[in-house]
Structure 1
Amino acid sequence: MVVLPHTPWTRLRTVVNWINLSTVLGLLVARFGGATRHRRGRGTVVCVGYRYGFPVASAFTIGNVIITKHDLDWMEDRPVLLQHEDRHCTQYAFLVGPVMLPLYFLSVGISYALAGDHSSFNPFERLAGLADGGYPPATTRFARRRSSQG
């Protein structure tokens, strides 16, 4: 794994995520899931080989910990996805810390109600970049129904 350099911004983010305990929680989830840790730089840790099927995502982030069921080569081949997950690290630090998890799941529910997917109306995914995370452009159930009729 290529180790990326720290910047003053990422140093601050790293410290805040340790203080707010979200990185600690991320490391515990990764360990519980049997994942192997690799330092990525910028204060992040990529944990590969996560063995559980929840959440259903190619990767997910808690604090400064990026977790995936895939192997390290798979993650390294997806630098845009890593950038997307890196943005979630910043969200944990400067938006809400570990309170992000319940807010994230609430946003998933709202997005499912409006769009039938977990990302279209999820502000955390939108701010991290939908396309970078591998998500389709935002839409609504109404817009999809209308386009299939016309």
Structure 2
Amino acid sequence: MVNGSTALGVLLARLGRARIRRGPHGLLIADGVRLPLRGAGAMTVGNVVLVPGSAGALVGALPRVLEHESRHASQWLRWGGLPFLPAYLLGAAWSLVVSGDRAAHNPFERAAGLADGGYQDVPRRRLRR
């Protein structure tokens, strides 16, 4: 709450007309958010996990996904809130360049546990000189 990132997450949940409830690990779960999450099963902003469908269905498919998202909430805290966003996007861009996948070599996704978030560990591709 101190760095404003959870407030931003709640605002996004409200704008997306989600139902917000308390979840494990100190998270707020925003079920049924109507925002374009670009194919993600969930996205964490501060301590708010934005889920386009049902969090119950997501956890049923990926039992450790809330632990994964909790690690992202800790990353938001360690990076002081909003500075995490451009750092994460830079990590995603790096991962796209080296592997063609936005998560596989993103240091934030790797630290949160690729498998726990439902991601594959894609090998790096050879870059041309």
Q: Which residue of 2 aligns with 1:129?
A: 113
* Bigger-Rg structure (1/2): 1
SS state at 1:47 partner: strand
What count of residue pairs does the alignment treat as equivalent? Answer: 126
Distance in 2 between residues matched to 1:42 and 1:58, nearest whole Å: 18
| 1:101 and 2:85 are equivalent in the alignment | yes
Indicate conservation of the 8 Å contact 1:58/1:68, yes or no: yes
Q: Which residue of 2 aligns with 1:113?
A: 97
| 1:43 and 2:47 are equivalent in the alignment | no
What is the root-mean-square deviation of aligned Cα atoms in Å? Answer: 1.6
Distance in 1 between residues matched to 2:92 and 2:104, nearest whole Å: 9
Closer/same/farther in 2, CA of residues 21 and 128 from structure 1, 3 Å limit: same
Q: Which residue of 2 aligns with 1:69?
A: 52
Structure 1: 5+ residue stretches without partners: 1-17, 144-150
Q: CA deviation at 1:141?
A: 2.2
Q: Whose helix proportion is higher, 1 or 2?
A: 1
Q: CA deviation at 1:136?
A: 0.5
Indicate conservation of the 8 Å contact 1:75/1:82, yes or no: no
- The one-letter code sitting in structure 2 at the alignment partner of 1:107 is G
Structure 2: 5+ residue stretches without partners: none
Distance in 1 between residues matched to 2:119 and 2:24, nearest whole Å: 25
TM-score (norm. length: structure 1): 0.77
Write the deviation string for residues 100-149 of structure 1: whole angstroms up to 9, x where unpaired.
11111111111101110111221110000001111101411239xxxxxx
SS state at 2:29 partner: strand
